[in-house]
Chain A
Amino acid sequence: MTDKLSIEIDGRVCEASPGEMIIAVADREGIAIPRFCYHKKLSIAANCRMCLVEAEQGGRPFPKPVPACATPVAAGMKVLTRSPKALEAQRGTMEFLLINHPLDCPICDQGGECELQDVAMGYGGDVSRYSEGKRVVKDEDLGPLVATDMTRCIHCTRCVRFGAEIAGVRELGATGRGEDMRIGTFVAHTLTHELSGNIIDLCPVGALTSKPFRFKARSWELTQAEGIAPHDAVGSNLHLHLRGNQVMRVHPKDNEAVNETWISDRDRFSYEGLASPDRLTEPMIKEDGAWRPIGWQDALIRVAERLKTASADQIGTLIAPTATLEEMYLAQKLTRGLGATAVDSRLRQQDFRGDAADPPLPWLGVPIAELETRDAVLLIGSDIRQEQPLLAHRLRKAALGGAGIVLVNPLPLELTFPAQQLVTSAAGMLGELAAIAKALRKRGSGSVKDLIAQANPTDRHTSAAERLKAAGTERSGLILLGALAAAHPDYTLLKALAYVIAEATGSTVGYLPLAANSAGAYLAGALPHVLPGARPGEAIGADARAMLVTARKAYVLWGVEPSYDFANPSLAATALGSADLVVAATAFRAPSLEAVADLMLPIAAFAETSGTFVNAEGTWQRFQGAVAPPGEARPGWKVLRVLGNLCDLPGFEYADSGEIHQELATLCAEVRPDNAPRGDLKVEPSLAEAGLMRVGTLPIYRTDPLVRRAAALQRTPGADVFAVGLNPALAADVGLADGELAVIRQGKAEARAAVVLDAALPPDVALIPSGVTGSEALGEQIGPVAVAKA
């Protein structure tokens, strides 16, 4: 069946595969066939009838024009895409598409980049023969991201198919019949899927457009630059559309290996945060409790002097995992150059006991594109759709292809694909994994051995074990550790159990790096136990938690907002508040920063600086700055270069960021992603079985300072909601009803939130999100908690 065959299109001989459609061959050959409903990533609908062509087979012409998108090739087929018959058919369809289209191009955001406009230029008539009344369609409010002008809809159904096939959530449908058919939700409601913005790109007309971009610019005023998304560990490839010095919108750039043709809504709409009024536009210093601007020179000299005079063991550097590779590298170089060892970028982790055994460069374990070909995947501690939307999409493809997906989580997830969810308490996650290990007749050693010995596997564990084992024999099993695992008090044991199961099943262990450059931190050495080039450090410095538990005198914060970016914000506030010096390099002002910092240095944000992100599969993706940072803000690497110089440190003489990149690339030349642990992961469980535990998810639009300031994303339902999810039985025990105000206590940390009852939650879990407004004063993201009536 793999034999190629040859067909002729417009006289050109083309090679084709059996079963391929004419349009796919034509696209490959660069022969333009107009189309609206066809999209390479969606099922074939063949309903727009724009791609009608003339064809003949074995010398016999087809009696009617055939749709190029739905007509499979056959040996010796001859296709004419521009013959009089084909053109007449295409013009006919064009006329029908236009009769009810409002032709309101002057006020349409799609104008200038509209497929209907483009094709109409080629196939439309000058004057319409249609003189009847045009169809008018009532718009639906689809929420803050997607604007609708459904009168413009040409019913190609790409958006509907996207929902059913790609998103896995059928939110849109085509209701009604004939010319009354309407695309919409039928009962207007906000699209909630994390990939929903892609329908804006899919819509060939101006029926679905970007709401934040609405009426902001005309497409011909925009220039295009390339970028890499700065949020999750996929590193989606982007097209940034600019006007002057402003990012006006963000579109995906095709890259099959990374984001295919999609991007998440987070990647698409977070650019709005760039224009936030919170932007720090000049260096500032706090004197007598008041902030005042200060020149760069002055600011940096002061910082350098105080850092130089600080005792090296009193310096702690905390770097956001969304910092660029170059920033991370220079920040650790500065820190280590000053003789300090406390540098970390794992701000949401609390269990670092496994550091000594950490693999040199933890990664996804497989290339991103291969996620979808796995036969079995065990996902440990991951709210995958919120954390890594496009990896969730790849897993969905795997699941639809028949893969067995098993999740071990402290909360039930709303998934878009069939999966087995083992939902248990935070502590119980160890037991679930131990049970799977036991079902595989593994015994383990050390504390893992005890866990496994205590486990009681049920059918669910046995079936999960068998799926993995079957896949493992094909080298196609995968065990992934997600962000909730990384935030877990027994992360080390979760890892240990993952390796035990992997060994027993022949599966691969993989990590879901938290953020855009979490993987890069290992290469840049922005970790207490890893030096640049992913080399193990001889002396392990203080980790992100140790730096806060034992407060330092001086802190350097890089791109961090203390209230939302730490696993334990109350601990962070206390430690930072007690320091003599807190220098914050930041793109944004924030109350929690201003409360603790002494100096704030404005640095460039996403799209404003060159740099490199290393994604989950270990791919280095370099990007250039597309716009200048606002005001006096400067690219981070430049700030660090000058600081290095002012601190009299060697090796900070870089002419451009490319030199930094090159230096690090040389250091990393031999580094290959590798998930084999270097040592022992056996530690004692830190969690007792009993007691209520907070499970702090990190909502999708609260992950980093930029997205938290993206206005439209923040308006989506549930974007920033602080609440306590409780099992009704537990709530009844403490006398709390749905909607009632509860007081939440984690040690001395305290907050109040409304109760949301959820029968699907385990009885000893209090689901209390982190990163949201209201959560600033709380403690560990995952840790003991008390909930009572307020």
Chain B
Amino acid sequence: MSLRSAPLAVEAPERARDGLFTPEIRAQIDAHVAKYPPEWKQSAVMPALTLVQEWNGGWLTRELMDDVAAYLDMPPVAVYEVATFYGMYDLEPVGRHKIGVCNSVSCLLCGSEDLIHHVERKYGVRPGETTADGRFTFKEVECLGACRHAPAVLVGKTYHECLTPEALDKLIEELD
């Protein structure tokens, strides 16, 4: 869709931005904003959502998206568009950890299906679900770009490669 290269900036009535998030997060968002031309604050929407999501325990509430919109002078719906488009944003509560098993072709050829079935059976979660104990949210993810050590699994922020079901179990056991 071609809302071409004009910032969506809204003339929002001056809203108290000082109260949003935490001073640390505001400083981090500001650091991102500084990378882009001044009229393009919205360029920082992705890092801002990422920071806020992490602060909120891994997922975004509508209120937080609205806050990001207010902080960056964006219409809320433009933030919803971004948050629903990119796969790394979660809009539902998640577990304490996120485990993403790559399901793309190289990993498929190297046994990712076994990993997925194993997790489904052993932990009773289907992709998109969170274990009953809230330990982790299980996801199937598209190519992680770690094909040479397939199958690859993203646990939190760390790649684990050449995994077998047993090795994955060990990783999961180590999670709190």
Instruction: Say if the two chains contact directly (CB < 8 Å).
Output: yes
- Interface residues, chain A, CB within 8 Å of chain B? 43-47, 157, 160-161, 164-165, 169-177, 185-187, 412, 414-415, 417-418, 760
Nearest CB of chain B from residue A131's CB, rounded to whole Å:
26
Q: Does B117 contact A (CB under 8 A)?
A: no
Docked Cα-Cα span, A175 to B78, in Å, equals 9
Query: Can you name 26 A-B residue pairings with CB atoms under 8 Å?
Result: A43-B2, A43-B3, A43-B4, A44-B2, A161-B3, A164-B3, A164-B8, A165-B3, A170-B8, A170-B10, A170-B77, A170-B78, A171-B75, A173-B78, A173-B80, A174-B81, A175-B77, A175-B80, A175-B81, A176-B84, A176-B85, A185-B77, A186-B77, A186-B80, A186-B81, A186-B84
Interface centre among B1, B4, B11 (most CB of A within 10 A): B1
Docked Cα-Cα span, A171 to B80, in Å, equals 11
Q: Does B13 contact A (CB under 8 A)?
A: yes
- Interface residues, chain B, CB within 8 Å of chain A? 1-4, 8, 10-11, 13, 62, 75-78, 80-81, 84-85
Pick from B4, B13, B62, B75: contact of A170, CB below 8 A.
B75
Interface centre among B8, B77, B78, B84 (most CB of A within 10 A): B77
Residues of A within 8 A of B10 (CB): 170
Docked Cα-Cα span, A45 to B3, in Å, equals 8
Residues of B within 8 A of A160 (CB): 1
Closest A residue to B81 using CB positions = A173
Residues of B within 8 A of A174 (CB): 1, 81
Given contacts A170-B8, A176-B85, contact A161 B77 (CB under 8 A): no
Nearest CB of chain A from residue B51's CB, rounded to whole Å:
21
Residues of A within 8 A of B85 (CB): 175-177
Cβ-defined contact, B11 with A173, below 8 A: no
Docked Cα-Cα span, A418 to B84, in Å, equals 29
Cβ-defined contact, A177 with B84, below 8 A: yes
Closest B residue to A155 using CB positions = B1
Docked Cα-Cα span, A171 to B13, in Å, equals 17
Cβ-defined contact, A760 with B13, below 8 A: yes
Residues of A within 8 A of B84 (CB): 175-177, 186
Cβ-defined contact, B3 with A187, below 8 A: no
Pick from B4, B13, B62, B77: contact of A173, CB below 8 A.
B77
Residues of B within 8 A of A418 (CB): 11
Residues of B within 8 A of A175 (CB): 77, 80-81, 84-85
Nearest CB of chain B from residue A190's CB, rounded to whole Å:
14
Cβ-defined contact, A47 with B1, below 8 A: yes
Docked Cα-Cα span, A46 to B1, in Å, equals 8
Residues of B within 8 A of A45 (CB): 1-2
Closest B residue to A173 using CB positions = B77
Docked Cα-Cα span, A169 to B62, in Å, equals 19
Closest A residue to B8 using CB positions = A170
Docked Cα-Cα span, A177 to B4, in Å, equals 19
Residues of A within 8 A of B81 (CB): 173-175, 186
Residues of B within 8 A of A47 (CB): 1
Docked Cα-Cα span, A165 to B2, in Å, equals 11
Nearest CB of chain B from residue A397's CB, rounded to whole Å:
14
- In the A-B complex, the 10 residue pairs with the smallest Cβ-Cβ separation, listed nearest first, are A173-B77, A170-B75, A186-B80, A175-B84, A173-B81, A157-B1, A176-B84, A45-B2, A177-B85, A45-B1
